[in-house]
Amino acid sequence: MAMSGIFIDTSAFFAAEVSRDQFYQRSRQTWNDLSGTAIRLYSSNAIFQETAMLLHYRTGPASAIRWIELQMQSNSITWLPINAQVQRATLPWMKKFADQEVSFVDATSFVLMRRENIRHVFSFDRHFVTAGFRLWPD
């Protein structure tokens, strides 16, 4: 499959860390599958913060700290920054999908994915499909 990369969403990070999550097994398998490929992985600073916050509040500070340390020690993901230009570009996405409650973080992901020409996302969030992206694996 030729692609410019895969964007990693909060739901993929969170599910892999929380065994009681409904997508835990699927997420762990997908992470294992990705580790054996040359596919470039991307995410954003907003996803990093959102994942750390969710882990902190839903599973406790220790799991959040462990996850943060793992991410900081790894070079496997390119963390794209959220600057003022990206923030401004989220508004049309949020307005377009206001009836579906697309979050600010999701909208920043859409902007970054478009900018970087990334069509696939490792996520369990159907908002990405609604916005015209493809969940991975298919």
Farthest-apart Cα atoms in the chain, separation: 39
One-letter amino acid identity for 32?
N
Residues 63-103: pLDDT tens digits? 999 999 999 999 999 999 999 999 999 999 999 998 988 99
Would you state the pLDDT for residue 137?
76
pTM recorded for the entire structure: 0.92
Would you state the pLDDT for residue 36?
77
CA angle 43, 81, 83 (to 5 degrees): 140
Domains of the chain and CATH, by start = 6-135 (3.40.50.1010)
Burial class (CB in 10 A: 0-12, 13-18, 19+), 46: buried
Q: What is the mean pLDDT of residues 114-119?
A: 96
* Structure-block tokens of residue 37: 């490929």
Would you state the pLDDT for residue 2?
52
User: Model confidence at 1, in pLDDT bands (50, 70, 90)?
Assistant: very low
Percent of the chain with pLDDT over 70: 96
* CA atoms of 53 and 45, how far apart (whole Å): 12
User: Model confidence at 37, in pLDDT bands (50, 70, 90)?
Assistant: confident
